[in-house]
Structure 1
Amino acid sequence: MDILLQYLIICPLVMVAGFVDAIAGGGGLISLPAYLISGLPVHNAIATNKMSSTMGTVLATFKFARSGFIPWKLALTCVCFAFAGSSLGARLALLMDSHIFLLFMVVVLPLTAIYVTRGKALIVEKEPYTYKKTAVLSILMALLIGVYDGFYGPGTGTFLLLLLTGVAHLPLKEANGVTKVINSTTNIAALCVFLLNGKVLFPLGPIAGLFGMVGNYLGALYFAKGGAKNVKPVIMTVLTIFFLKVLYELL
């Protein structure tokens, strides 16, 4: 495929993915297919997508930190457990038939969508727990989603955001801040591996990353202004795309 056409396909979609990712996670469901549609080999597509998504997520994390949305002590503790869970998930992926997991996701995704569309989901914040209880539950959610990320991965940020608000009773903005810190850290770790193995394409990765940064910045602004009102429709869009992806893989 013509190089210019590759840029015309990838860069706008990466910007859209960054916008979605900053608000509710799940941007990879948009950006990675963009790289693949452009004709890149799979490993180069995954690696280059990781560079552009890392650039965008780091900027969004910085914006959330500047806005005071990140409880750093809790966030950094969750990062450690997310890493541990991801390692365990990768090992499970070698043992478990992925077809069984996809069938499980066909059930989980509609149930998640029903939860999100409920009147009070995300809009009315749950009564906060004590810090100790919140921390324990947040760590467990980070561990659980870490396992999922290592095993399969798509929509990790979206699921973590929903669990931190729904189970750990974190306020939505703080939950999104913790999610951004975890995503940034795991993205950087994966990107280092891809860079060391020479899989990232230059200058495509950095240029697409700049578009992703614009999308993430705009998404972070949009989230800060609208909170839950802006999150719900974006999450529903992510879940719909994810559901169609799972069905495609099954069929």
Structure 2
Amino acid sequence: MSSIEILIVVAGYSFRLKEPARRLERAAEHAEAAGHQVAVTMVPASPVFATTLSRLGEVLPSRWRLSPAGSDDLSASLDAAIQASRAEFLTIMDPADGVCEDWLTRCVEEAAGPATAFMPEALVTYGPNYATHGETAFIRLPTELDAGSLSEDIVALPARFVAPRPALAVHSFPRPDAARGWGAPGWNEAMHWWWVCRLLSGGVSFRQVPGSVQYRALPSGADPRCLLRLQKDVRTGPWVSR
């Protein structure tokens, strides 16, 4: 039996949690049925959302709790939540993300070592006008990624994955840096990919879970195809240095 903790990043456009919670709950229930323990911790992107989340206890599943760590610096809040966790495996997600029902179970049961993270085979992103304009993008992730991949022309990097907590705890999230443009619109996405680059350069390898798909709803005004362009900017910048 393994213990899993889902860290949910709650930002401005995604604090309506009741419906998204049901999707993630199905994955949590599947893992529990397989004998694993699952907890969900909400990490607010700012103190404003911490206040909002504190009032949602009645409509969210009982396993969902609010992280005591919350500040205007999301990077610091995530670092604190990872350090405070006692779970064997962690995954960081947005409440609007959708996952296969067996996603958590398969990742944990295929665990291949203390420094191996698991990513989906494909990522489907869709914009707020999907129903009327079909705004969507299909991104196929590599089969495997390791430190050597950083020098290659990587098609896409995973922003959502499941990994052993000790492997994540030793690599801090990057901090906003206005002088370098880190903190501009799109920062939260770039921050996650920069962190992936740190993990790769630090010896964490990524392995694909065949047949698995994750779904991501993007905020208003976002083009689903922009994620690939943003990832390229991340890989060509000085992202790996600590």
The structure with more helix, counted as a fraction of residues: 1
TM bucket (normalised to shorter chain) is: under 0.3
TM-score by length of 2: 0.27
